[in-house]
Amino acid sequence: MKYVPEPFKIKTVEPIRMTTKEYRQKAIKEAGFNTFLLRSEDVFIDLLTDSGTSAMSDAQWAALQMGDEAYAGSRNFYDLEDTIRDVYGYKYFVPTHQGRAAEHIMSKLLIKPGDFVPGNMYFTTTRLHQEMAGGKFVDVITDEAHDPDNPHPFKGNVDLNKMQKLVDEVGADKIPYISYETCVNMAGGQPISIGNLRELRKFCDKYDIPIMLDNTRTVENAYFIQKREKGYAGKSIKEIVREICSYTDGCTCSAKKDGLVNIGGFLAMNDEEFFINAKAQVVIYEGLHTYGGMTGRDMAALAQGIRESVANDDYIRYRVEQTNYLGEVLTDAGIPHVTPHGGHAIFLDAKKFLPHIDQEQFPAQALASAIYVETGVRAMERGNVSAGRNQETGQNFKPKLELVRLTIPRRVYTQSHLDYAAEGIINLYKNKNEIKGLKFVFEPKVLRFFQARFEPA
Ligand code: F0G
Atom of ligand 1 nearest to the CA of 265: 13
Tell me how far the alpha carbon of residue 251 lies from the centroid of ligand 1, in angstroms.
13
Tell me how far the alpha carbon of residue 253 lies from the centroid of ligand 1, in angstroms.
9
Q: Which of 211, 157, 144, 210 is nearest to 183 (CA)?
A: 157
Domain boundaries defined on the chain:
21-50+314-456, 58-311
Q: Cα(first)–Cα(last) distance of the chain, in Å?
A: 45
Closest residue by CA, ligand 1 atom 18:
51
Q: Which of 336, 417, 347 is nearest to 379 (CA)?
A: 347
Tell me how far the alpha carbon of residue 450 lies from the centroid of ligand 1, in angstroms.
13
Catalytic residue among 214, 249, 298, 349: 214
Catalytic residue among 257, 297, 307, 378: 257
- Residue 123 designated active-site: yes
Tell me how far the alpha carbon of residue 435 lies from the centroid of ligand 1, in angstroms.
29
Atom of ligand 1 nearest to the CA of 255: 13
Given a cut of 50, the residues of the chain with pLDDT beneath it are none
- Residue 257 designated active-site: yes
Catalytic residue among 382, 405, 410, 411: 382
- Dump the DSSP string for 306-351: HHHHHH-SHHHHHHHHHHHHHHHHHHHTT--B-SS--SSEEEEEHH
Please give the pLDDT value at position 115.
98
Q: Domain spanning 58-311: which CATH class is it, in words?
A: alpha beta
Decide if 399 contacts 351 (C-beta within 8 A).
Answer: no
Q: Domain spanning 21-50+314-456: which CATH class is it, in words?
A: alpha beta
Please give the pLDDT value at position 2.
86
Residues with a CB atom less than 6 Å from ligand 1: 49, 51, 98-100, 123, 125-126, 181, 185, 214, 216, 254, 256, 265
Q: Which of 51, 56, 21, 4 is nearest to 377 (CA)?
A: 21
Please give the pLDDT value at position 334.
98
d(CA 367, CA 380): 9
Please give the pLDDT value at position 297.
98
Q: Cα torsion for 407, 410, 415, 419, to the nearest 10°? A: -10
Contacts of 198 (CB under 8 A, 6+ apart): 247
d(CA 45, CA 424): 12
Catalytic residue among 137, 325, 420, 449: 449
Atom of ligand 1 nearest to the CA of 125: 10
- Residue 71 designated active-site: yes
Tell me how far the alpha carbon of residue 177 lies from the centroid of ligand 1, in angstroms.
20
- Dump the DSSP string for 193-213: -HHHHHHHHHHHHHHT--EEE
Atom of ligand 1 nearest to the CA of 254: 13
Closest residue by CA, ligand 1 atom 5:
185
Tell me how far the alpha carbon of residue 136 lies from the centroid of ligand 1, in angstroms.
20
Catalytic residue among 44, 90, 123, 180: 123
d(CA 403, CA 431): 19
3-state secondary structure of 434: helix
- Residue 382 designated active-site: yes
Order of all β-strands in the sheet with 178-181 = 92-96, 265-269, 250-254, 211-214, 178-181, 116-119, 136-139
- Residue 136 designated active-site: no
- Residue 2 designated active-site: no
Amino acid at 228: R
Atom of ligand 1 nearest to the CA of 98: 13
pTM over 0.75: yes
Atom of ligand 1 nearest to the CA of 183: 3
d(CA 322, CA 344): 9
Same fold, 21-50+314-456 and 58-311: no
Cα angle 268, 271, 273 (rounded to 5 degrees) comes to 110
Q: Cα torsion for 254, 279, 244, 134, to the nearest 10°? A: 70
3-state secondary structure of 164: helix
- Residue 275 designated active-site: no
Tell me how far the alpha carbon of residue 123 lies from the centroid of ligand 1, in angstroms.
8
